[in-house]
Amino acid sequence: MGGSAQVVADNLTRQSDAQQSAALVTAQKAAAQAARTKAADAARAKAAAEQHAKEQAASRAAAAEQRQQLVSYSPGSVQALAASIIGNATEFSCFSQIVTRESGWNYQATNPGSGAYGLVQALPGSKMASAGADWRTNPATQIRWGLNYMNSRYGSPCGAWSFWQAHSWY
């Protein structure tokens, strides 16, 4: 009878150990699944936050560009701006002769045939991006680019004007 009680006790111990092992495995699986779910939720939240940040940045950029486009420059104010950037009255006079003929001091002038753009009729207009990302809407950027172009290609705005007088282009 004592041996039979021992067998029952041993069986109960093994059953208890097996149940504990099964419970531990189940708990580990549940913890791993909870960790995966938490990581996935965190990744989704991070992606949503990054998307929101991108959308806000794009919205701010669009609003800034829209504000810039609402600014209107008169030909006189653009000429005064050019005079202040160029500094030398003689060189400004030569620059002015070219710009008057190329765009009439319209910083948004577009040549329908060639696509040349801006005060100095850069072709393509996107070349002026080297002077600033706002080249489409900012006459100061176009003036700086045009002055640099004239200086590098013709030595000065007056050199560019001399070439323009001989060829009707520069």
CATH of the domain at 123: 1.10.530.10
Q: Are residues 160 and 82 in the same domain?
A: yes
Residue 16 amino acid letter: S
Longest dimension (CA), the chain: 127
CA angle 100, 103, 105 (to 5 degrees): 60
Q: Are residues 57 and 98 in the same domain?
A: no
Reading the chain (170 residues) residue by residue, the pLDDT tens digits are 667 777 777 777 888 777 887 777 888 888 888 889 888 888 888 988 888 888 887 777 666 665 555 567 887 889 999 999 999 999 999 999 999 999 999 999 999 999 999 999 999 999 999 999 999 999 999 999 999 999 999 999 999 999 999 999 99
For the chain, the domain total comes to 2
Q: Are residues 13 and 93 in the same domain?
A: no
Q: Domain range spanning residue 54?
A: 1-70
Residue 82 amino acid letter: A
The verdict on pTM exceeding 0.95 is: no
Q: Are residues 42 and 99 in the same domain?
A: no
Q: Are residues 81 and 30 in the same domain?
A: no
Q: Are residues 88 and 23 in the same domain?
A: no
